[in-house]
Amino acid sequence: MWQHLSFHLRHPVYTKKNSIVMPNITYGMIPTFGDYAVTKCIPDVENNSVLQFCHSAPRGGHYGSTRTARKVLDCGLYWPTIFRDAYHFVSTCERCQKAGMAMNRRHEMPQQPILFCEVFDVWGIDFMGPFPVSNGYSYILLV
């Protein structure tokens, strides 16, 4: 398929930003397990429609941002900020917000239960603020 291209166009080191520009189509070369996969790069104006299809279409499933981005990659499409755009798209999906599915546990703050044995055996420390500056301080340390 790429035999007609010169070595400089096929090799990712010699291409501008790891992409090959052909008439009306841009093919990007992304590293995959020590090799390079050729994928179709789409213009920025199509990013939301592709994310909409992979996330909200009848077979989309309203999955999280990582799985939505992986579905786009599985379709053979690529753009440099695909994971960041998928995260933003999923976090603003109205249906996911109502169902509480937009964020997965990876994006939540880790919380572990505290086991109490005796009074003052376990201490909790937390910061609060910023508050209006008073005596040069704007945060409170709670112990």
User: CB 103: neighbour CB atoms within 10 A?
Assistant: 15
pTM > 0.75: no
Residue range 12-63, pLDDT digits in tens: 443 444 444 444 445 555 555 555 555 677 777 788 888 888 888 776 678 8
Q: Exposed, middle or buried: residue 52 (CB in 10 Å: 0-12, 13-18, 19+)?
A: middle
Pairing outcome for strands 19-22 and 25-32: antiparallel
Domains in the chain, please, with CATH?
7-107 (1.10.340.70)
